[in-house]
Amino acid sequence: MNRLFSPISFLLLSVLISACSDDSVDLNCETVKCEDSIGLISIKIVDNNGDPVLLDDYYSFIDSRTRFQETQKDYAIRPGWYPVATNEQYDLFNPEGTILTFVGIVNERNVVEHQMLMGKDCCSIELLTGDTEIVIKNE
């Protein structure tokens, strides 16, 4: 009995380890029907008093080669709210997460450099971790 138990235990353990060794997320999207959605992730930037901060410029990047910018007018966002990413960047993100940095500029100076972990499901991008409201100290 002990001779049979050892090979079976080894085989079972090997199967369990190999099943858990792949950290990637497999999106099985074949049966999912996606509705039209904007897939917009935005960030709110306020000062100490809670008033909206008006940035002179802003952009998001994933690495030094992948920079993009969405315009507020395209998404009718209120003052102080800025688009970080949309479904237009869907292919840039991994389901398990991709680090994105949002940069906000006032008077040619970076006042915001905020990292967020972005992912995606079968239909849309999603925020995995990161704040969606940033407070900047008044100067």
For 4-19, write each residue's pLDDT tens digit: 445 454 444 444 444 4
Dist. CA 102–CA 30, nearest whole Å: 32
Q: What is the rounded end-to-end Cα distance, in angstroms, of the chain? A: 77
Which residues, other chains included, contact 132 with Cβ-Cβ below 8 Å and sequence gap of 6+? 41, 42, 43, 44
What pLDDT does residue 113 have? 95
Q: Which pLDDT score, from 0 to 100, does residue 116 have?
A: 96
> Please, which pLDDT band fits residue 135 given cuts at 50, 70 and 90?
very high
Q: In the structure, what pLDDT confidence band is assigned to residue 21 with cuts at 50, 70 and 90?
A: very low
Token output for 28: 């099985």
Write out the CATH class of domain 28-136: mainly beta
In the prediction, which pLDDT does 69 show? 75
43, 102 Cβ separation under 8 angstroms: yes
| Sequence ranges of the domains in the chain | 28-136
Cα–Cα distance, 126 to 16 (Å, whole number): 30
pTM for the predicted model, two decimal places = 0.73
Token pair, residue 80, equals: 């102080």
Render pLDDT for 98-114 as a digit per residue (tens, 0 to 9): 999 999 999 999 999 99
Residues ≥6 apart with Cβ < 8 Å to 57: 104, 105
What is the structure's pLDDT at 63? 79
